[in-house]
Amino acid sequence: MRMRSSGMKSEQVAERMGQWLGLSSAPVEEDDGSVFVAKEEDFKDSQRIRGTVKDREVVIFHHEGQYHALDLRCYHAGGPLHLGDIEDIAGQTCVICPWHNYTIALATGEGLYQGTDPLDPLRTKKWFSKGVKQRIHKVNVKNGGVYVTLSDTSIRCDSDDYACEKLKESENTVIKP
Ligand code: FES
């Protein structure tokens, strides 16, 4: 069962996310390796912020009191996840990529898909996991600031293919499939 919990349409989000938010100066790395990306108050309008952490594009969602940081570009073909709708699917909060509707669990980075179990005589549709496809990162809040610590990139994740700084382009110039 899919329950949409974001009241904001992609076009509205796109308008608000036309620029990097909360980054009036270059991100500064803390002693613990975390990087400040925004103030908590910056999430009030769109509940999402995109930013760059050590040359990596990330999006941070604030949903029902929880922060989730992921690689910004979808693991499938580099779609802009900061423009995706947030939905509750099979008990997990997910972002739906605006390009081809791939479904990604915010807490785990798992790619989810709907299918049927061939052994089920009723062929009831269920949600299954493809495993972790989108890299997630750690988020901490300190003194009203939201900080992101990148996960261990020595273990490959599919979204790595689209995460490096050289691929960062505006929404108008990204090559769409
Ligand atoms: S680029 Fe995200 S679903 Fe294709």
Q: Which phi and psi angles does 83 have, rounded to 5°?
A: -100, 5
CATH fold for domain 2-167: Rieske Iron-sulfur Protein (2.102.10)
pLDDT over threshold 50, residue 141: yes
* pLDDT of amino acid 16: 43
pLDDT over threshold 50, residue 8: no
100 lines ligand 1 (CB under 6 A): yes
Domain borders along the chain are 2-167
Please report, in angstroms and rounded to a whole number, the separation of the first and last CA atoms in the chain: 28
**Ligand 1: distance of its center to the CA of 143 in Å?**
35
| Mean pLDDT to the nearest integer, 113-134 | 93
133 lines ligand 1 (CB under 6 A): no
**Ligand 1: distance of its center to the CA of 99 in Å?**
5
Nearest ligand 1 atom, CA 74: 2
Mean of pLDDT over the chain: 83
Dist. CA 155–CA 122, nearest whole Å: 39
138 lines ligand 1 (CB under 6 A): no
pLDDT over threshold 80, residue 143: yes
Dist. CA 71–CA 21, nearest whole Å: 16
pLDDT in tens, 15-71: 444 345 544 455 677 888 899 999 999 999 889 999 889 889 999 999 999 999 999
142 lines ligand 1 (CB under 6 A): no
* pLDDT of amino acid 30: 82
Q: Which of 85, 99, 161 has most ligand 1 atoms within 8 Å of CB, for mutation?
A: 99
The band of 12, judged by pLDDT with boundaries at 50, 70 and 90, is: very low
Q: Which of 59, 102, 158, 162 has most ligand 1 atoms within 8 Å of CB, for mutation?
A: 102
Q: Which of 57, 76, 130 has most ligand 1 atoms within 8 Å of CB, for mutation?
A: 76
pLDDT over threshold 60, residue 171: no
* pLDDT of amino acid 18: 35
The band of 149, judged by pLDDT with boundaries at 50, 70 and 90, is: very high
Dist. CA 50–CA 169, nearest whole Å: 13
CA angle, residues 30, 40, 106, in degrees to nearest 5: 85
